[in-house]
Amino acid sequence: MNVRGIGMNLIETKDLIKNFNTTEVLKGISITIKKGEFISIIGPSGSGKTTLLYVLSGLEDYSNGSVKLFNKEVNTYTDKEISKLRQRNIGFIFQFYNLIPNLTVYENVLLAVVLATSDHKNNIDQTLDYVGLLNYKNHYPSQLSGGMQQRVAIARCLINDPDIIFADEPTGNLDNKNSLVIMELFKRLNQELKKTIVLVTHNEEMIRFGTRYLKLTDGVVLADEQVIR
């Protein structure tokens, strides 16, 4: 998919509603996310943050309203199309690193290339160097700290050059020092590589690393503000 320049709309929702059984979790959310933005989604536990992230990325369906991803209604993508998007155009980073323990750092990143049948194999060393782990390419996950494992997960996400990175509580398992390292890395990805980032965090202090934040309470966006860096 050929994504155009900074400023184009990558994600748009209108009157988005998401129900779980009889409970309305997202209540009429209308937002636009442009290429090059770094959006932090904040709010108390149970506010719908992660649900919104998963709906925006196509990991979960929605009950009513509209969600467009790359200018196409998400529920009109075929299974094959959405699979290709997840391999080539969007990347995911989660609270748990989901690394394969019997593969080295290099092999964990290589696996993402193989699964996407992409041509980025020659970029693995460069990507590991970018996240500060080139010297650990032959280490196994058990030999790394939590912060380092999360950087491997970020390298694995980056290797196929996604247009959008979705991150769900990526610092949730880390101490404050490692959390700041990870957030500085996300800031670099946004500023230097122009990656569009949509990140869920329970820590409101982390919004300073992004360009904009959405504050959710009970499935409603109560604030949508730009961040002054």
| Cβ neighbours for 134, distance < 8 A, ≥ 6 positions apart | 125, 128
Helix-helix angle 146-158:176-191, to 10 degrees: 20
Alpha carbon distance 192, 168 (integer Å): 22
Q: What is the DSSP string of 131-165?
A: TT-GGGTT--GGGS-HHHHHHHHHHHHHTT--SEE
pLDDT tens string 164-197? 999 999 999 999 999 999 999 999 999 999 999 9
Domains of the chain listed by start with CATH number:
9-226 (3.40.50.300)
For residue 165, the cross-strand partners are 91, 197
Asked if residues 174 and 144 have their Cβ atoms less than 8 Å apart, the reply is: no
- Angle 87-90-95 (CA atoms, 0-180°, nearest 5)? 100
Write out pLDDT tens, residues 16-55.
999 998 899 999 999 999 999 999 999 998 899 999 999 9
pTM, entire model: 0.93
